[in-house]
Amino acid sequence: MTSTHHTPVDVSHVKPREKAELLAQALPYIRKYHGKTMVIKYGGNAMTDPALQQDFAEDVVLLKLVGINPVVVHGGGPQIETLLQRLGKKGQFIQGMRVTDAETMEVVEWVLAGEVQQDIVGLINAAGGKAVGLTGRDGAMIRAQKLRLADQKDPNLEHDVGQVGDIVSIDPSVVKALQDDAFIPVVSPIGFGENNESYNINADVVAAKLATVLQAEKLLMLTNIPGVLDKAGQLLTELTPRRIDELVEDGTISGGMLPKIAGALDAAKSGVNAVHIIDGRVPHALLLEVLGNEPFGTMIRSH
């Protein structure tokens, strides 16, 4: 990921009155979300395309400036894969979870807490914000234990996925302290166990759990698709728990989408007011979602 400056969108052709109307339309949303927390799971193309990276950084800074508290949680699957390949290791997945031995865990920490996190922090700072990078170790935020992964078909069968963590608890006090101080927290999904061992945790799961403990107003998950699609490739604008069960059952929701949807549903059931899976390939996707009234992506409902 490299940070490149692209020229701002040219709005010189937009008449002043239209600009004013656009801002006026955003006003109710700014008022509604002022002082509220939004957890944003940052992933997919928005994370690897330089122009979209810039858009994302600008959106996060703008949200902070209008009094909304964004918290960014990021993944880094493709970047981890690239480094593993360079080291001659083949990534292995079981039910959407990366099998993580000790060597892979080292790579995961280098990539997530080093390269990727610092790139995002740099992008946000370059766009005029004040971002601070955190892992689950900072402020003893994410306590984890080894994930026991039951087989989808046979619940009596358990897969060993190595140093992949299941969240035991999240202490959000470090995030709250930073938020109150005008900083934008950027969280890498790494937790620690009772013997100080590191755990690789699915970023969607961390984002969902963090949104719950922070009592966030919204959880926004950026992906590489328009939202959740049905078998025919049509966008499902909202999903209920029952519909989700049906889609998992018939295989429409599978692989990496499984932990994403499970986390989203969990957050919705735990009191996060709005949970949306949105298309990170759309320029300024975040602002369109937060400050617009167009339905965007897939909304996960709690019932």
* DSSP-assigned states of every residue in 67-124: T-EEEEEE--HHHHHHHHHHTT----EETTEE-B-HHHHHHHHIIIIIIIHHHHHHHH
Does 91 belong to an annotated binding site? no
Domain covering 34-300, topology: Carbamate kinase (3.40.1160)
CA-based nearest residue to 145, from 136, 153, 154: 136
Computed over every residue of the chain, the mean pLDDT equals: 90
44 is in an annotated binding site: no
Confidence band, pLDDT 50/70/90 cuts, at residue 8: low
Angstrom distance (rounded) from CA 142 to CA 166: 10
Q: Which range (19-28, 82-91, 99-108, 187-196) has the least confidence?
A: 19-28
pLDDT value at residue 15 = 81
Q: Is residue 76 marked as binding?
A: yes
Measured distance between the N- and C-terminal CA atoms of the chain, rounded to whole angstroms: 39
pLDDT confidence band for 48 (50 / 70 / 90):
confident
Q: What percent of the chain has pLDDT over 90?
A: 63
| Annotated binding residue 200 | yes
Burial of 116 (0-12, 13-18, 19+ CB in 10 A): buried
Provide the Cα torsion 277, 223, 138, 124; round to 10°. Answer: -110
How far is 140 from 130, CA to CA, in rounded Å? 22
147's tokens: 């994930």
The answer to whether residue 4 scores a pLDDT higher than 80 is no
Note the pTM of the prediction, 2 decimals: 0.90
Q: Is 205 exposed, middle or buried (0-12, 13-18, 19+ CB in 10 A)?
A: buried
Helix axes 117-126, 50-65, angle to 10 degrees: 60
Q: What DSSP element (H or E) covers 158?
A: strand 158-159
Lowest mean pLDDT: which of 9-13, 51-55, 147-151, 163-167? 9-13
| Whole-number pLDDT of residue 12 | 63
